[in-house]
């Protein structure tokens, strides 16, 4: 079976220009003793908005790894696919994030639900999960409710999995199941029975992406209580351990954190907990590479600065339209978005600092950052000019991309000094 390394990182590169800079961060982490398997991911939504094909991500991943002489494994992730969107990803991907969010809450057949509940009889009562202080109070009613909410999604996950397996062949790809893009988080006890369902469906899931408590807004820090998150995260890890032993799931099943990027407040907790338990992790860092491109262009000044300022002006006019597809994962305070007349006077440094995620910097403005984060479509409309600027200012741009992934993400997560 194709296996993901113990620590892996999902890297987004919307415009396909930053693979080398991203890979350099991975290689440098390896030099510090942190082996990370790179996974290039791009969702259907991003492909649609930009007008790229899944095969483009494969080409980029193959190209940059060959160029760097990178001999370790790497993957191309069909991110957040479902039954309707998986087809065009099958050939070029070897990692599939099966997104069951849209099936959650739809009810499976009564017989299927009853059978599932019957099969969990041995877990009812006070269920002690090693590593979790308080036992779960499992009742028939609770399991029935969980089955009513999630069993249909598990069955759909199997259908999607089989569709991929039929074409790619057994063991030739990594399977992730994601349910993070939903309004409510899954509790550890829900996760336990969801994993039971996936075990019964015989899905060799290697990574599972639940929705955690707190807000995981795109490109900005975690909103919530990090201590509470840590407790939930650790309980989920213990649940995964238990599920692997009990439900016949793959031994390397690990947690996937769809971070929306930049969850600096919880990185130290995640790093500490996985180290304490010797666990693996898949961390998706989403599309902040695009933001780093904008920062790199801003820092380059001249025409590059004019171009990104113009993107900001246009995004002010189209705020509603740009934010709509991301409504659940951004929180922009429109009153804190400076008007065009003000930004027009900004220096290169001031514009870059407003966007760069350095919370202590007085110019950092998470509202501008989130708006630009979802404004990549505007660059896609002027792709030739954008690519020309990226290429002309490659050094500054790739330095920004590298610094972000290596210093702000990897070093924080793995406590590299
Ligand atoms: Zn996700």
Please state, in angstroms and rounded to a whole number, the distance separating the CA atoms of residues 113 and 105: 13
Ligand 1 geometric centre to CA of 292 (Å)? 20
Please compute the mean of the pLDDT values over residues 352-362 and round it to a whole number: 95
CA 315 – ligand 1 centroid, Å: 24
Ligand 1 center to 416 CA (angstroms): 26
Residue entry with tokens 């990027």: 261
37-43 and 75-81 strand pairing: parallel
Q: Tens digits of per-residue pLDDT, 252-309? A: 999 999 988 899 999 999 999 999 999 999 999 866 899 999 999 999 999 999 999 9
What is the residue-wise DSSP string for 189-246?
HHHHHHHHHHHHTT--EEEEEPPPSSB--TTS--BS-HHHHHHHHHHHHHHHHHHHHH
Kindly give the distance from the C-alpha atom of residue 80 to the centroid of ligand 1, in angstroms, as a whole number.
7
State both tokens at 153: 């999604």
Can you give the pLDDT at residue 286? 67
Distance 215 CA to ligand 1 centre (A): 13
- Is residue 261 a contact partner of residue 370, using CB atoms and an 8 Å limit? no
Question: Cβ contacts of residue 22 below 8 Å, gap of 6+?
Answer: 11, 13, 38, 40, 64, 289, 401, 402, 405
Quote the ligand 1 centre to 70 CA distance (angstroms): 27
pLDDT of residue 45: 87
Strands (E), 13-82: 37-43, 75-81
How do residues 67-93 score in pLDDT, each as one tens digit?
999 999 999 999 999 999 999 999 999
183: pLDDT confidence band, cut at 50, 70 and 90? confident
What is the Cα gyration radius of the chain?
22
- The residue that leads in pLDDT, 325 or 221, is 221
Q: How far is Cα 274 from Cα 281, in angstroms, rounded to an integer?
A: 7
Supply the pLDDT for residue 287: 67
pLDDT exceeds cutoff 90 at 343: yes
Residue 385, pLDDT score: 98
Q: Which residue bears the tokens 């990090």?
A: 226
For ligand 1, the distance from its centroid to the CA atom of residue 316, given in whole angstroms, is 26
119 pLDDT higher than 80? yes
What pLDDT, on the 0 to 100 scale, is given for residue 149? 98
178 alpha carbon – ligand 1 mean position (Å): 7
User: Which range has the worst mean pLDDT, 41-55, 136-150, 154-168, 305-319?
Assistant: 41-55
pLDDT of 357 above 90: yes
User: Residue 1: its pLDDT value, please?
Assistant: 83
The rounded Å distance from CA 107 to ligand 1 centre is: 23
Ligand 1 centre distance from Cα of residue 229 (Å): 17
**Rounded to an integer, what distance in angstroms lies between the CA atom of residue 260 and that of residue 140?**
36
pLDDT tens profile 243-254: 999 999 999 999
**Which pLDDT does position 359 carry in this prediction?**
87
pLDDT over 70 percentage in the chain: 100
Averaged pLDDT, 387-394: 98
């Amino acid at each position: 079976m194709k296996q993901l390394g113990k620590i892996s990182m999902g890297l987004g590169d919307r415009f396909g220009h930053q693979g080398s800079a991203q890979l350099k961060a991975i290689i440098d982490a390896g030099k510090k003793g942190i082996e990370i398997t790179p996974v290039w991911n791009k969702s259907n939504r991003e492909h649609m908005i930009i007008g790229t094909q899944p095969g483009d991500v494969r080409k980029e991943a193959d190209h940059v790894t060959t160029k760097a002489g990178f001999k370790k494994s790497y993957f191309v992730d069909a991110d957040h696919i479902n039954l309707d969107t998986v087809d065009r990803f099958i050939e070029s991907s070897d990692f599939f994030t099966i997104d069951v969010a849209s099936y959650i809450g739809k009810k499976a057949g009564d017989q299927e639900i009853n059978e599932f509940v019957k099969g969990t009889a041995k877990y009812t009562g006070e269920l002690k999960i090693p590593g979790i202080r308080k036992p779960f109070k499992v009742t028939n009613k609770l399991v029935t409710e969980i089955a009513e909410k999630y069993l249909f999604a598990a069955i759909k996950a199997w259908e999607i999995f089989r569709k991929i397996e039929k074409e790619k062949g057994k063991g030739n790809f990594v399977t992730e199941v994601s349910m993070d893009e939903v309004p409510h988080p899954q509790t550890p006890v829900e996760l336990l029975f969801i994993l039971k369902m996936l075990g019964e469906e015989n899905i060799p899931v290697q990574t599972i992406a639940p929705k955690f408590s707190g807000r995981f807004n795109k490109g900005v820090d975690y909103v919530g209580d990090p201590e509470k998150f840590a407790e939930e995260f650790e309980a989920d890890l213990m649940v995964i351990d238990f599920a692997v032993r009990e439900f016949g799931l793959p031994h390397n099943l690990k947690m996937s954190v769809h971070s929306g990027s930049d969850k600096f407040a919880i990185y130290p907790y995640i790093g500490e907990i996985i180290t304490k338990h010797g666990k693996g992790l898949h961390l998706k860092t989403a599309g902040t590479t695009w933001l780093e491109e904008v920062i790199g262009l801003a820092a380059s000044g001249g025409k590059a600065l004019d171009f990104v300022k113009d993107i900001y002006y246009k995004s002010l006019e189209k705020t509603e339209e740009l934010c709509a597809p991301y409504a659940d994962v951004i929180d922009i305070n429109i009153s804190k978005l400076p008007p065009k007349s003000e930004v027009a006077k900004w220096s290169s440094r001031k514009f870059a600092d407003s966007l760069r995620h350095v919370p202590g910097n007085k110019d950092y403005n998470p509202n501008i950052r989130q708006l630009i984060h979802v404004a990549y479509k505007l660059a896609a409309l002027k792709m030739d000019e954008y690519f020309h600027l990226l290429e002309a200012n490659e050094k500054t741009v790739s330095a920004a991309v590298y610094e972000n992934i290596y210093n702000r993400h990897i070093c924080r997560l793995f406590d590299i000094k």
